[in-house]
Amino acid sequence: MSKKPVEITTTTELVPRDELDTAVLFEPEVLDAVLGKVRDKVIEVERDVSTPKGRKAVASLAHAVSRVKVAIDKRGKDRVALINAGRKTSKEMLTNLRDYAREPLTEWEAAEKKRLEAERIEKEKREAAELLAAEIDQAFDDAHAEYDLREREAAVAAREAELKAKEPEPQEEQEEAPLAEPQAEKSEPEPVAEEPEPEPEKLNKRHRQIIEMEAAGALTELLMDVMTDDEARDAADTVVSFVIEGKVPHIRIDYGEVKGAETC
């Protein structure tokens, strides 16, 4: 096929404008057809550079091809911008719609998380209280065991002293001892009347009892959080007794000043 000495200077001479403005330009089949038509027209043109006119025609042909390229690229960019705007709009709307659809479940999950956290905290508090109660019970048991041991040791010592006192004196001492008149009966010792306590002593004793009762009451209120009322009262009384007897190191009861003692 011979070349045509045709001079192409405009874009429309390569491809009609309506084919570039079509909405389906970037469909693969449509774009291939447009590009094929442009290629065929360019190939058909005779490129003669032997004359100034021929050289000008070659330059015009190349310029026309460039303008087709720019036109298609611009339409592609416009199409991309339009698509991106549509993508942005649809993304925002559908995201909000998704959140709306899930809202009841999201609120339930938040409430459930809060409830589980509250249960965990309450469980930790309960376990701590149970551990404290167990430690207090163990301390009381140890103190009672020590107290019982000392009581038994004291009873054994008293019994040994009593038995030792009843042992007969050695024979030599009995022979050297002067004979005593036999006694018909061993008279019972007369009871000694108890002397009444002085008034200041009574006041002091009553004052100490009040202080001890207040201490036991305060301990009872503190222990009621981890024990029953009866257990708390018994435990408080035991602790106060141990403190009074000096069995708890570094702790004592401050009895303060006896009111009214100056006037007695």
pLDDT for 79 = 85
pLDDT in tens, 193-210: 555 555 566 667 777 778
pLDDT for 42 = 85
Residue (of 256, 259, 254) closest to 202 by Cα position? 259
For the cut 80, the answer to whether the pLDDT of residue 252 exceeds it is no
pLDDT in tens, 122-161: 999 999 999 999 989 898 888 888 888 888 888 888 877 8
pLDDT for 34 = 85
Q: Residues 98, 47: contact at Cβ < 8 Å?
A: no
Whole-number Å distance between alpha carbons of 264 and 258: 11
Q: N- to C-terminal Cα distance for the chain?
A: 146
pLDDT for 190 = 55
Residue (of 154, 133, 147, 149) closest to 238 by Cα position? 147
The most confident of 2-16, 133-147, 248-262, by mean pLDDT: 133-147
Triad 96, 99, 105: Cα angle to 5°: 165
| pTM score | 0.38
Cβ neighbours of residue 67 closer than 8 Å, sequence gap 6 or more: 10, 11
Residue 264: pLDDT band with limits 50, 70, 90: very low
Would you list the domain boundaries of the chain? 17-107
Whole-number Å distance between alpha carbons of 21 and 31: 12
pLDDT for 263 = 40
Q: Residues 46, 5: contact at Cβ < 8 Å?
A: yes
pLDDT in tens, 31-89: 888 888 888 888 888 888 888 888 888 888 888 888 888 888 888 888 888 888 888 99
